[in-house]
């Protein structure tokens, strides 16, 4: 069907649907919706007996299992609370190895034998569910015909109500395990890793003289990037519908090179959508804080306040779900793919990670004088050591097909994992290592040169947006996560490898204490040794510079450019040893994840390749032939001579892609992933390159796909 400009006019039209935040008096408590759909501690206090409430909170603090009698009372209270909010069903929400969330809905109501129905929900139903697990990927943990799997209530992540125009649903965050008790999900390893890090950190704090902290929590604050485009363009692009990214598209005359979108005024429809999304998230207890335009036209960001890693991971999955559902109410589609538009800024998810005690002390806060803060130096040195030792594993933790289209481009850090410490910490660690110089940096101020402007305190170092792992004041920012990814596995990796490093440094300090050193002297010596051994992973320069690749190789750092390069790190001997030693994932559980993610890469690449071939042959090639026929009928030989060679080239490229899409016999596993990368995706890129040249020549009204200049700028 010929494209016409009135489609752009239609896409650009929008009027308020009344779903936006509106203007209300937010000083009144009733107008503050935060947490109103969450079975929070305050709700539990109101719904449970005082004894049951105290028992539940005590159980959560100590990490013990829930008593069955207590579970029955909690279930009854949760049911009554949910029914009062219109919930007819409940579901155990879990995170299988697909990277998404899963749910099976069960009704509260059952026939009472007298022609009516009664609502029922027991502690047993709250604590454990039994979904059909046969179709979830397991990576060989069990056979497909072994369907049994269990969901187990996670009481540390609060239950919540999801509202729908036709009702409501009680959602209970749960873990998901096989019949043999092995983890089939993202939550169980994350919880195990949090426990492991807490044990190691508390042990270290005791050595360092802290006798009060009882638990250490890891915290996350993810910055989620995404695109919003008009739904008309989305459904006119089979590639976007099928793969989440555009497999074709010539660069528009204007892209993001002017940077005029970044932090610009937010378009009215987009702002209304954002406000509605934030309202829904606040009802669900998600502490959203920041919103702004990102670098590319049509690209935006949302970020919450820090939460503990488990709740933050659950909330991030919920955030992506709510963003996508609310966008549709505004005639928009939310794109979470890492690289939906080639040549245009891609989307990541910056994972701000830190450690804090149950008393609220941030172990990653250097204080006013980091050189004198031995706790900070100890834990910072542990992070540096962990990242250097397990740099390949960290890269593998953020590997997927979408990332291969993004990592290393100008908006994302390269595939080389390195740490940016900043000028102040560089000075501190260099002074500690050398034993010379003053590691302290006095506070300074920025003078802005105008009397009416205030003096601004200067940070100890500038930010480095090219670094994949940067210290940013009181936390480390793992910038390499993809926008569609779950937080769970990258944070599981961070927690586990840092726990290992903490124990190693603690062992060395204890040896020095036994030899007669004092605590400050022992810490200084161990930090000096560790930094000297691992300083090669610290880099404060331009990670985009090609010279860095050569420098990184000289330093012995790994450059794992693609998913097939990175995933084997999951099965490296030191990975298996660390995860086994801390009880986070067994070798069998690690192997299962490796197999699942390898298969997902191969399947994803095949879907992209076959979709490319189909669109090119059935949509783009006919459009080019129509234009060629038009040129021939008009006897304009100059145009025909431009188009005909490209048509032949496109047809040849499609045929080559069809051949590549026929998998070679006997190839599987990592070898098949490499084949998909080196054959299918290369052939896909060849088809695209020719088709994009044709897009610039073929008559606009004949080209069947909406163009970047429309998708990105009409909103």
Question: Average pLDDT, stretch 97-112?
Answer: 85
Whether 103 shows a pLDDT value over 80: the answer reads yes
Q: What is the pLDDT of residue 459?
A: 56
Bridge-based pairing of strands 288-293 and 149-153 is: unpaired
At CA 62, angle to CA 61 and CA 68, rounded to 5? Answer: 95
Give yes or no for a contact between 711 and 12, defined as CB atoms under 8 angstroms apart: no
pTM score: 0.93
Using 50, 70 and 90 to split pLDDT, how confident is the model at 221? very high
Q: What is the pLDDT of residue 220?
A: 96
Using 50, 70 and 90 to split pLDDT, how confident is the model at 445? very low
- Least confident range from 273-282, 413-422, 583-592: namely 413-422
Whether 26 shows a pLDDT value over 90: the answer reads no
Query: Which range, 193-202, 286-295, 470-479, 540-549, has the best average confidence (pLDDT)?
Result: 193-202
Distance from C-alpha of 492 to C-alpha of 281, rounded to nearest angstrom: 25
At CA 67, angle to CA 65 and CA 73, rounded to 5? Answer: 125
More confident residue, 258 or 667: 667
Whether 448 shows a pLDDT value over 70: the answer reads no
Burial class (CB in 10 A: 0-12, 13-18, 19+), 574: middle
- The token pair at 603 is 């399947």
| Cβ within 8 Å of residue 550, ≥6 positions away | none
Q: What is the pLDDT of residue 453?
A: 45
Whether 180 shows a pLDDT value over 80: the answer reads no
Q: What number of other Cβ atoms are within 10 A of residue 303's Cβ?
A: 19
Please enumerate, as own/partner, the contacts of 364-371 that have beta carbons within 8 Å and a separation of 24 or more: 364/471, 364/474, 364/475, 364/476, 365/474, 366/424, 366/425, 366/460, 366/474, 368/443, 369/440, 370/424, 370/425, 370/428, 370/439, 370/460, 371/428, 371/431, 371/432, 371/439, 371/440
Using 50, 70 and 90 to split pLDDT, how confident is the model at 480? very high
- The token pair at 191 is 């919880």
What are the Cα distances from residue 425, in Å, to 163, 378, 460? 47, 13, 8
Strand partners, 478: 351, 469
> Taking Cα atoms as reference points, which of 335, 325, 322, 340 lies closest to residue 230?
335
Q: What is the pLDDT of residue 17?
A: 64
Q: What secondary structure does DSSP assign to 53-96, as a single string?
A: HHHHHHHHHHTPPPPHHHHHHHHHHHHHHHHHTTEEEEEEEB-B
In 262-368, alpha helices (H): 268-283, 309-328
Using 50, 70 and 90 to split pLDDT, how confident is the model at 10? confident
| Cβ within 8 Å of residue 499, ≥6 positions away | 193, 196, 197, 199, 200, 201, 582
- Least confident range from 310-324, 463-477, 610-624: namely 463-477
Whether 177 shows a pLDDT value over 60: the answer reads yes
In 116-228, alpha helices (H): 123-127, 187-207
Q: What is the pLDDT of residue 279?
A: 93
Question: Average pLDDT, stretch 76-86?
Answer: 93
* N-term to C-term CA, the chain: 23
Domains of the chain: 31-184 (3.10.20.70), 193-441+458-585 (3.30.590.10), 599-711 (1.20.120.1560)
Q: Residue 234: left (phi > 0), alpha (psi -120 to 50), or beta? A: alpha
Question: Average pLDDT, stretch 684-710?
Answer: 96
- The token pair at 70 is 């207590």
Give yes or no for a contact between 226 and 321, defined as CB atoms under 8 angstroms apart: no
Question: Three-class SS of residue 177?
Answer: strand
Give yes or no for a contact between 641 and 632, defined as CB atoms under 8 angstroms apart: no
Give yes or no for a contact between 621 and 650, defined as CB atoms under 8 angstroms apart: yes
- The token pair at 634 is 């008009």
Q: What is the pLDDT of residue 66?
A: 78
- The token pair at 623 is 């459009």
Q: What is the pLDDT of residue 22?
A: 59
Distance from C-alpha of 248 to C-alpha of 543, rounded to nearest angstrom: 29
Q: What is the pLDDT of residue 424?
A: 83
pLDDT tens by residue, 31-47: 788 899 999 999 999 99
Whether 269 shows a pLDDT value over 50: the answer reads yes
Q: What secondary structure does DSSP assign to 673-710, as a single string?
A: HHHIIIIIHHHHHHHHHHHHHHHTTS-TTT--S--HHH
Using 50, 70 and 90 to split pLDDT, how confident is the model at 437? low
Q: What is the pLDDT of residue 118?
A: 67
Beta-carbon-side half-sphere exposure of residue 566 (alpha carbons within 13 Å): 27
> Taking Cα atoms as reference points, which of 402, 403, 396, 437 lies closest to residue 576?
396
> Taking Cα atoms as reference points, which of 11, 251, 330, 239 lies closest to residue 300?
330
Give yes or no for a contact between 44 and 77, defined as CB atoms under 8 angstroms apart: yes
Whether 463 shows a pLDDT value over 80: the answer reads no
Residue in the block written with tokens 């097909």? 401
What are the Cα distances from residue 586, in Å, to 381, 444, 592, 711? 27, 50, 10, 46
| Cβ within 8 Å of residue 112, ≥6 positions away | 118
Whether 284 shows a pLDDT value over 90: the answer reads yes
Q: What is the percent of the chain where pLDDT is above 70?
A: 90
Question: Average pLDDT, stretch 665-692?
Answer: 96
Q: What is the percent of the chain where pLDDT is above 90?
A: 67
Using 50, 70 and 90 to split pLDDT, how confident is the model at 666? confident
Whether 349 shows a pLDDT value over 60: the answer reads yes
Average pLDDT, the chain: 89
Whether 618 shows a pLDDT value over 60: the answer reads yes
Whether 643 shows a pLDDT value over 90: the answer reads yes
Beta-carbon-side half-sphere exposure of residue 294 (alpha carbons within 13 Å): 21
Whether 60 shows a pLDDT value over 90: the answer reads no
Q: What is the CA radius of gyration of the chain?
A: 28
Give yes or no for a contact between 558 and 537, defined as CB atoms under 8 angstroms apart: no
């Amino acid at each position: 069907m010929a494209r016409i400009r009135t489609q752009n006019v239609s896409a650009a039209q929008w009027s308020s649907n009344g779903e936006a935040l509106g203007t209300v008096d937010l000083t009144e408590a009733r107008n503050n919706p935060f947490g109103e759909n969450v079975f929070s501690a305050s709700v539990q206090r109101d719904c449970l007996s005082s004894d049951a409430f105290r028992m539940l909170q005590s159980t959560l603090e100590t990490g013990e299992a829930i008593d069955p009698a207590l579970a029955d009372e909690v279930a009854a209270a949760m049911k009554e609370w949910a029914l009062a909010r219109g919930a007819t069903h409940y579901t155990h929400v879990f995170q299988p190895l697909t990277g998404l969330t899963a749910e099976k809905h069960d009704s509260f109501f059952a026939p009472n034998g007298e022609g009516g129905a009664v609502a029922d929900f027991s502690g047993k139903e709250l604590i454990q569910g039994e979904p059909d697990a046969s179709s979830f990927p397991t990576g060989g943990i069990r056979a497909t015909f072994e369907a049994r799997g269990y969901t187990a209530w996670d009481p540390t992540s609060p239950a919540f109500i999801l509202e729908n125009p036709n009702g409501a649903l009680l959602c209970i965050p749960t873990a998901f395990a096989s019949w043999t008790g092995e983890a089939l999900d993202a939550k169980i390893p994350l919880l195990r890793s949090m426990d492991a890090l807490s044990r190691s950190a508390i042990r270290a704090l005791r050595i360092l003289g802290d006798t009060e902290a009882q638990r250490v929590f890891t915290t996350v604050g993810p910055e989620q990037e995404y695109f919003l485009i008009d739904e008309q363009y989305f459904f006119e692009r089979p590639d976007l519908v099928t793969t989440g990214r555009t497999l074709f598209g010539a660069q528009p005359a204007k892209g993001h090179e002017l940077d005029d979108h970044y932090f610009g005024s937010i378009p009215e429809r987009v702002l209304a959508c954002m406000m509605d999304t934030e309202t829904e998230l606040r009802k669900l207890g998600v502490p959203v804080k920041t919103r702004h335009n990102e670098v590319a036209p049509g690209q935006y960001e949302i970020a919450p306040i820090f939460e503990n890693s488990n709740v933050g991971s659950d909330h991030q999955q919920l955030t992506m779900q709510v963003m996508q559902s609310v966008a549709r109410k505004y005639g928009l589609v939310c794109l979470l793919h890492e690289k939906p538009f080639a040549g245009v800024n891609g989307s990541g998810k910056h994972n701000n990670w830190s450690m804090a005690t149950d008393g609220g002390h941030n172990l990653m806060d250097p204080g006013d004088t980091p050189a004198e803060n031995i706790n900070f130096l100890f834990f910072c040195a542990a992070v540096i050591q962990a990242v250097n030792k397990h740099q390949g594993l960290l890269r593998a933790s953020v590997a997927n097909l979408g990332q291969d289209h993004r990592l290393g481009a100008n908006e994302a850090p390269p595939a080389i994992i390195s740490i940016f410490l900043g000028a102040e910490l560089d000075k501190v660690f260099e002074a500690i290592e050398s034993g010379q110089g003053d590691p302290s940096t006095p506070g300074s101020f920025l003078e802005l040169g105008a009397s009416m402007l205030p003096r601004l305190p200067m940070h100890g170092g500038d930010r480095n947006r090219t670094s994949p792992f940067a210290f940013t004041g009181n936390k480390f920012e793992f910038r390499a996560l993809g926008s569609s990814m779950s937080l769970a596995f990258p944070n599981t990796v961070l927690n586990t490898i840092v726990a290992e490093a903490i124990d190693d440094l603690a062992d060395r300090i204890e040896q020095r204490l036994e030899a007669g050193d004092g605590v400050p002297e022992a810490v200084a010596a161990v930090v000096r040794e560790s930094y000297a051994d691992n300083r090669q992973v610290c880099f404060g320069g331009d990670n985009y510079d090609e010279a860095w690749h050569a420098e990184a190789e000289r330093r012995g750092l790994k450059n794992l450019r693609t998913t097939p390069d990175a995933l084997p790190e999951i099965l490296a001997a030191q990975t298996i040893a660390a995860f086994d030693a801390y009880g986070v994932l067994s070798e069998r559980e690690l192997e299962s994840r490796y197999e699942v993610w390898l298969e997902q890469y191969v399947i994803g690449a095949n879907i992209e390749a076959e979709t490319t071939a189909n669109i090119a042959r059935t949509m783009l090639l006919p459009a080019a032939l129509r234009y060629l026929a038009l040129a021939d009928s008009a006897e304009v030989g100059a145009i025909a001579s431009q188009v005909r060679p490209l048509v032949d080239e496109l047809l040849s490229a499609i045929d080559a892609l069809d051949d590549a899409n026929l998998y070679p016999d006997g190839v599987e596993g990592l070898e098949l992933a490499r084949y998909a990368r080196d054959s299918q995706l290369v052939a896909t890129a060849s088809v695209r390159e020719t088709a994009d040249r044709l897009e610039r020549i073929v008559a606009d009204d004949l080209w069947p796909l909406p163009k970047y200049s429309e998708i990105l700028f009409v909103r």
